[in-house]
Amino acid sequence: MKRLIAAALVAVAATACSPPAEVPAPAEQAEPAPADRRQAAYRAGEEGPEPFVRALFARYDAASPLPAGETPPPGREPLYGRTLNAMIGADARKAGGEVPFLNFDPVCGCQDGEIVLQSVEIAETAVNQVDARVVFTRDGREVRQVMKLEREGPMWRVADVIPEGERPLTERLLEVIG
């Protein structure tokens, strides 16, 4: 037993006298990897409505789009509220394998293209509900819309999207799934 303790003390002493291991320099704040951008949006949903909206739009980096297969199935997107998810799921089921009404990304109203967020204005409409007035460019053209956000548990989620001059997405989905 004494030999074991002595050996341990020698090992500790040798370690204490060793030169310190090289500590890697802090990494530059690099843009998150594509799969991480979705996770960043989930995390931002717990920070507040404006960081959440900014993170939603940060996912549209033309230089490194999200990999195929990273999108949850229709009606199971954690970035959307329960009601909107239920409508999206019903739309996909009603389409029965054909192209559903919602065959585009509701956040940008697009399937692809270069999306650049210009501004976000948050206005509280009720407890745990806000309107996010966003202006962004889609392929160089200015787009304005209101994103209705609601807080579900600790996270903000998209409850509805109202592009300027159009009816709310939920109304259009209700007509389809009727």
| 25-45 confidence digits (pLDDT tens) | 444 444 444 456 778 888 999
Nearest Cα neighbor of 38 from 66, 68, 75 is 66
Residue 177 — pLDDT band, cuts 50, 70, 90?
very high
Instruction: Report all structural domains of the chain as residue ranges with CATH numbers, in order of start.
Output: 32-177 (3.10.450)
Count the Cβ atoms, other than its own, within 10 Å of residue 101: 17
Q: What is the SS3 assignment for 4?
A: helix
User: What is the rounded CA–CA span in Å between residue 60 and residue 39?
Assistant: 14
Judged against a pLDDT cut of 90, whether residue 171 lies above it is answered with yes
| Six-digit token string for 133 | 């007035």
CB-count exposure of residue 134 (10 Å: 0-12, 13-18, 19+): buried
Residue 72 — pLDDT band, cuts 50, 70, 90?
confident
Task: Check residue 112 and give its pLDDT.
Answer: 84
Least confident range of 40-54, 59-73, 86-100, 130-144: 59-73
CB-count exposure of residue 9 (10 Å: 0-12, 13-18, 19+): exposed
| Pairwise pLDDT comparison (160 vs 34), residue with the higher score | 160
Judged against a pLDDT cut of 60, whether residue 137 lies above it is answered with yes
Residue 59 — pLDDT band, cuts 50, 70, 90?
confident
Whether residue 117 contacts residue 57, with contact meaning beta carbons closer than 8 Å, is answered with: yes
